[in-house]
Amino acid sequence: MKGAGISSISLLGEEMRLNELNDSTRRHGLPGEIHKERAWITERVMLIDFERIDRLGLPWSANVFGISLWNSIRCAITRETVAHFATAALQLIEGIIPLHIKAKQEAAYVRTARLRKTSNYNNINFNPNNYEDGTVSTKFHPAIFQLEDRISLKKQFFPGLNIYTDGSKMEGKTGSAFCVMEEDTKKYEWMAQLSPFNAIFQAELLAIQGACLWTGKTNQQIKVWSDSESSLHSIASVDTRIPIAQQTQGILLKSTNIKLEWIRAHVGYSGNEAADVLAKKATQEGNPTYIPAPRNHIKGLLQKESIIH
């Protein structure tokens, strides 16, 4: 009910702005910039409304008026564009996806990624269990989430053991790896080969998680290095919804001997360069490891399917 309330408020605000633009159009004509804003807001209104229609179990065609409104605006934009840039307009037209198809895509995405229900699009089934669950916030209470001094973006090298992590994507294959270094000597290495649909971001996070698990077996003070700022920010955030980041948070809270540090990529640090080589090797020779696909993979499949058909 809370989500429905937020959607309703958002829908009301967008509709009010749309009414203002419609009034301005009647009085002063329809300049190009107003065209674009009106079209963008109409699309937002339609997609919010389609999400609401899907929650009620109604067909997307229940909003016939909205579809007609959008198509009329889009045609006006296209006419204006063709008048000035015919070649560019033709390229634009080739990439246009009709709103009713886009609405079906959005409905399939919402059902799978947000509502965690099986959906179907052009006879392709989308099982939510195959994709990351980004709907669950962290389970840690802010009072016990004390990682501020454990994750840093300042380079402070540590005598003794340092672990360097990395992720790579080559020729459609994804690899994740870390290596344990003492001074300039490699003591241990770990490689995982992920699925082609997995993102580098996931590979980076998995490498950090693997390093933390390995480090948890010892009482030594160890630093885990990563050149992925986004991964470290995700782990440092109490609000993260990334499953691998949440799991890594749990490991860090239990193992106080681990610190995470950021290191700049490709500037000559031997440990980081070794991890980079290892991650590339992992795309071919790593231990096959399955983790769910990122949620944006759903949108990629939907877009590809729409272009094909």
The tens digit of pLDDT for each residue in 272-292 reads 999 999 999 999 999 999 999
Question: Do 275 and 302 fall within a single domain?
Answer: no
pTM, rounded to two decimals: 0.69
Using the predicted structure, report yes or no on whether residue 245 has a pLDDT greater than 90.
Answer: yes
Question: Do 248 and 304 fall within a single domain?
Answer: no
Question: Do 261 and 150 fall within a single domain?
Answer: yes
Question: Do 161 and 150 fall within a single domain?
Answer: yes
31 in any annotated domain? no
Cα-Cα-Cα-Cα dihedral sign, residues 87, 30, 102, 295: positive
51 in any annotated domain? no
Question: Do 224 and 152 fall within a single domain?
Answer: yes
8 in any annotated domain? no
Task: Give kind and range of the element (H or E) at residue 40.
Answer: helix 32-55
Overall domain count for the chain: 3
Question: Do 298 and 195 fall within a single domain?
Answer: no
Q: Is 268 exposed, middle or buried (0-12, 13-18, 19+ CB in 10 A)?
A: exposed
| Separation between Cα atoms, residue 88 and residue 97, nearest integer Å | 16
Domain that holds residue 72: 65-96
Cβ atoms of residues 245 and 253 within 8 Å: no
| Separation between Cα atoms, residue 112 and residue 117, nearest integer Å | 5
13 in any annotated domain? no
218 in any annotated domain? yes
Task: Kindly report, residue by residue over 132-170, the tens digit of the pLDDT.
Answer: 988 777 677 777 777 877 887 776 666 678 999 999 999
33 in any annotated domain? no
